[in-house]
Amino acid sequence: MNVFYPTPKQSITVSLSCLLLLTFLVLMVDPRSLLLPFFLLPFLLIFLFFYYGFRAVFSKFTKLKKITSAVASFYFALFPTIVLVVSSINQLSVSDVVIVGLLMLGSFLYLRYADFI
């Protein structure tokens, strides 16, 4: 499997595998006995689930270039992940969601029109 340009079938497989692993992690692991670095694992799995899910959708239903599809998938997966991280530390407000959205939109537009991509 080419990690950078997976086929839609491979993307769906990776996405569903992340979802199953996340479900197993939530149901079977006691958070009180979990080591601190493993608290980041659910957020990573959520990001990968969304990223490969969006990659499959974009490659199947749009005519975007592969790099544009990858960047768009990254941003569409990053937004809910950041909102979940902020929500998990009880700091989520409407202004935080708007700020995260505007920062992501600004960086997306910057990368979209940059000469090096």
Q: What is the pLDDT of residues 78-113, one digit of tens each?
A: 989 988 888 888 878 888 889 888 998 888 888 777
For the chain, which residues make up each domain, given as ranges? 8-112
Q: Check residue 47 and give its pLDDT.
A: 92
Contact yes or no for 54/10 (Cβ under 8 A): no
Distance, CA of 3 to CA of 11 (rounded, Å): 9
Q: Check residue 2 and give its pLDDT.
A: 58
Tokens for 62, please give them: 């749009």
Q: Is the pLDDT of residue 117 over 60?
A: no
Digit-coded pLDDT (tens) for 3-61: 566 777 888 888 888 889 888 888 888 878 878 878 888 899 999 999 999 988 888 88
Distance, CA of 2 to CA of 37 (rounded, Å): 28
Tokens for 61, please give them: 């239903």
